[in-house]
Structure 1
Amino acid sequence: MPQAQVNGITINYQIDGEETGKGSVVLINGLADDLESWDFQVPALVEDGYRVLRFDNRGIGKSDKPAGPYSSRMLADDAKALVDLLGFTKFHLMGVSMGGMIAQEYALAYADDLASLTLGCTYGKADGFCQNMFGMWGDLAQGLGVPFVMRDVALWAFTGTFFEERPEDAAEFGEAMASLDMSLGAYLSQLAVIQKHDALDRIGNVTMPTLVLAGEEDILIPVRLSKKLQQAIPGSDWKTVPGGHACLWESPDPFNSAFIAFLNSVSS
């Protein structure tokens, strides 16, 4: 995969699809997720005529992992430097979970770059429940290691129905998350992003077409927090799809359909 030297670091990225006139989509990953986390979305986007850019955030995959802590604005600036280098303009930006927090900061700082904004399974600011959970993840990571934490995250990310009806898929996802190759320092640096992100008082300044998308049974980032975010963005759209926090993996077809329908409505 190609790599770029931007914002003082090396970022690993991948571009799929060709320019067709429908525009480009930039995808931003969640905490401890590399660019392969979009494997269930990219084929559908390319088939519908979009060119897609995805990349490893600092701290994960083949991108550099400098000392942290990181912030949502820092990672938004990384994304800005990358798209500028690659010549992406007036693109559709989608971020999920931590990626949604980064996307918020991008939209607030670089609004002129965006044709639309989609925020998936995310919040404008963590509540006490989330802060306690994230604090526990940090403690577990330092005491028992990052793979142990990711086993716990897998339980929060999927629905009970998924574990009951698709046990083989659940086991496969759990094993993949538990085998994550991420150092403790890099994990804690990314964890700081979701702990400290706070855009709720500023997000009302977002003016581009915006969709806030949530998994109907998300218990990791409760749906009420995503709804609160949507209500703070004037004129934004709201959509829920089957699944939990990892609805983009658990039920990719409804997720993709909702996302692409929004993109097409904006493009038309």
Structure 2
Amino acid sequence: MEARFNAAREIARDAGRLALKHFLLRDTLKVETKGVHDLVSEADRDVEALISSQLMALFPDDGFIGEETGVKAGGMKAAGIWVVDPIDGTASFLDGIPAWCVSIAYVVGSEIEIGVIYDPNAEELFAARRGHGATLNDRPIRARRAGGFKDGRVGIGYSLRVDPRPTVTAIERLLTGGGMYVWNGSGALMLAYVAAGRLIGYYEAHINAWDCLAGIGLIREAGGWTNDFLADDGLIHGNVIAAGAPGLAEAMRHLAGLN
């Protein structure tokens, strides 16, 4: 597992450097629409191709799930599966807002063994290996201590592909509980911020595995709490995500309607 962890960190940096080159030339990119407010550019595809080719060259028996290419390589039958979002926060990326990242996770069965998120704009590499803790640029990080929503801010994610009512309800519960929310367009990055203690929680009514598995791995290794995202076939179909400081587990469950 150590070889995969080291490779994931290096490949995330390589991918981030390539993505940043595209970001600086974003006005020249070809962009397609996958759905309402759901965009993909040639940058997404180029970065995913780099990640996939490097991982498969090193670990040819592993499976691979990418946001842009879907399931390939060893597929779902492989013992371990890489789950990748080459650029999480594509809309911000294309708008020139530096709120996006590279997300790489490695899953074995129901366990997230590796989670790596790289923000090339801030040169921040968040990395976690199950049982070995979480780091930011090789320094240990921990989720913030919080006993209520007044103790910090909660990240909120949303996509127009889902019913807005659960999100509206969650925001109402948060605000009436004395809290405040943050939205930056990148669920992966906000989950990394929870692991680093910058946010006290994160909620999204439905999120895909490639957007959140690395972040979930980070939060768990940083001492935080998350719901069981991989339940009910979350790897393929996505699921609700609720995560936060260890003292906020019940409050986040209530906010997310998981009680």
Q: TM-score, normalised by structure 2?
A: 0.29
Q: TM-score, normalised by structure 1?
A: 0.28
- Larger relative CO (CA 8 A, sep 6+): 1 or 2? 1
* Larger strand fraction of residues: 2
